[in-house]
Amino acid sequence: MDVHGRVVMNTALPNASNTIQLSSVPKGIYLVHVQGFAPKKIVVK
């Protein structure tokens, strides 16, 4: 989600360890929410 609460990306992650490419996401501050875990803030530069 972006800082305005809009969903930017929604995807199912099939493995315990995954990599998400953020090259198509505009620069900014985002919250990453993985079900069962607290949201994490990330900054895309």
pLDDT for 35 equals 85
Close Cβ partners of 4 (under 8 Å, ≥ 6 residues apart) = none
Q: How far apart are CA 6 and CA 30, in angstroms?
A: 10
Note the pLDDT of residue 17: 85
Q: What is the pLDDT of residues 1-45, one digit of tens each?
A: 998 999 999 988 888 888 888 888 899 999 998 888 899 999 999
Those residues whose C-beta lies under 8 Å from the C-beta of residue 28, and which sit 6 or more positions away, are: 2, 3, 43, 44
pTM flag (> 0.85):
no
DSSP state of 35: T
Give the model's pLDDT for residue 36. 87
Cβ(33)–Cβ(1) under 8 Å? yes
pLDDT at res. 16: 80
Amino acid 12: pLDDT:
86
Range of the domain at 22: 1-45
Count of the separate structural domains present in the chain:
1
